[in-house]
Amino acid sequence: MTRSRAIAVAALALGYASILHAAVTRNDLSKVGIELPPRATLPLNLPLQGEDGSAKPLQFWLGAKPSVWVLADFTCKTLCGPVISIVSDALTHSGLRSGADFRLFVVGLDPKDTAADAARMRRAQIGLDGDGSPDSHYLRGDANALDALTKALGFRSVYDADRDQFAHPAAAFVVSPDGRVTRALAGLAVDPTTLRLAIIDAGNGVVGTLAHHIRLLCYGYDPASGTYSVAIGRLLAASGAVTIAMLALLIGLLLRRECGTRGIGTSVHRSPAQSGTPTTE
């Protein structure tokens, strides 16, 4: 099991784990996810601020090219950063040209986050323009704007005030130039080929098969110890044990088959003299 797959298993289990923190209950986490509305479309007049602080309608940011959108907490210490890096890397290796074929937008979930918070997240996860990474735009909005955006995407999150942290889906949205959501992808499962085809489809106005339920959560990870919780740790241990058991079973079957093959070979190559059967020679 790879590290990314282990993270995904742990995160998927968060929705069914016991209470991870007093402020966010199991019932709260069960409500977190993505359920795209029919014909989901972004609100084109929604004001969003760029990194320079100027607010422009969402239609301005869309321009005339398909785009990829990620919703993240700019001060997040858990999965937001890795998701942005994975999406950025997939775009870099997609064979498409940043700016000419697509745009990447990362929108802050927390209206309290500042332009400096956005800049730090960008430097940490994508780097500077011109270093081979795709051109990206980190956008912010007030509480009303973010509420309208998340509702348009069917994006449901829960805010933990004690930790100043959001439990939210980890996902990437592909959007056509006219604002239609053409694809929703689980954040840690994005690959260059899938993203390339989704962007090409969006450019042609084709709405792909939408994953209506995405439950990969960004919440509860402890960066100091590298674990989610005792319950999640047990889940990962169990997953590892199952993998080891399957490998042991496979090795056993291969050894058994090899022994059987050797037995057949020995029988076939036994000489008549060794078998004790009279011959006419």
The answer, yes or no, to whether residue 195 has pLDDT greater than 70, is yes
* Tally of domains in the chain: 2
Residue 82 has pLDDT above 80, yes or no: yes
pLDDT band at 246 (very low <50, low <70, confident <90, very high): low
Q: So what's the pLDDT on residue 58?
A: 96
Q: Quick one: 150 and 237 in the same domain?
A: no
Task: List, for residues 144-176, the tens digit of each pLDDT value.
Answer: 999 999 999 999 888 888 888 888 888 899 999
Look at residue 274 and tell me if it is in a domain: no
Compute the distance between CA of residue 107 and CA of residue 68 in angstroms, rounded to an integer: 11
Is 275 within the bounds of a domain? no
**Block residue for tokens 């795709």:** 134
Chain-wide mean pLDDT for the chain? 74
- Encoded tokens for 68: 């990829």
Q: Whole-angstrom Cα distance, residue 30 to residue 27?
A: 5
- The whole-model pTM stands at 0.68
Q: Are residues 241 and 260 in the same domain?
A: yes
- The predicted pLDDT at position 150 comes to 95
* Residue 240 confidence (pLDDT) above 50: yes
| Domain finish residue from 175, 199, 225 | 225
At residue 274, the pLDDT reads 47
Do 246 and 210 share a structural domain? no
The pLDDT value given to residue 233: 44
What are 175's two structure tokens?
Answer: 């959007």
Residue 238 lies in a domain: yes
pLDDT confidence of residue 229: 40
Q: Does residue 213 share a domain with residue 178? A: yes
In a domain, 37, yes or no: yes
151 and 185 together in one domain: yes
Domain-embedded: residue 164: yes
Q: What is residue 42's predicted lDDT score, i.e. its pLDDT?
A: 96
Q: Are strands 33-34 and 55-57 parallel, antiparallel or unpaired?
A: unpaired
pLDDT digits (tens, 9 = 90+) for 15-59: 333 334 446 677 777 778 888 888 899 999 999 999 888 899 999
- Looking at the structure, do residues 119 and 155 belong to the same domain, yes or no? yes
Q: Half-sphere exposure (CA, 13 Å, Cβ side) for 127?
A: 10
**pLDDT per position as a tens digit, 199-224:** 998 888 777 655 544 544 555 544 34
- Asked if 246 and 197 sit in the same domain, the reply is no
Domain of residue 255, residue span: 233-266
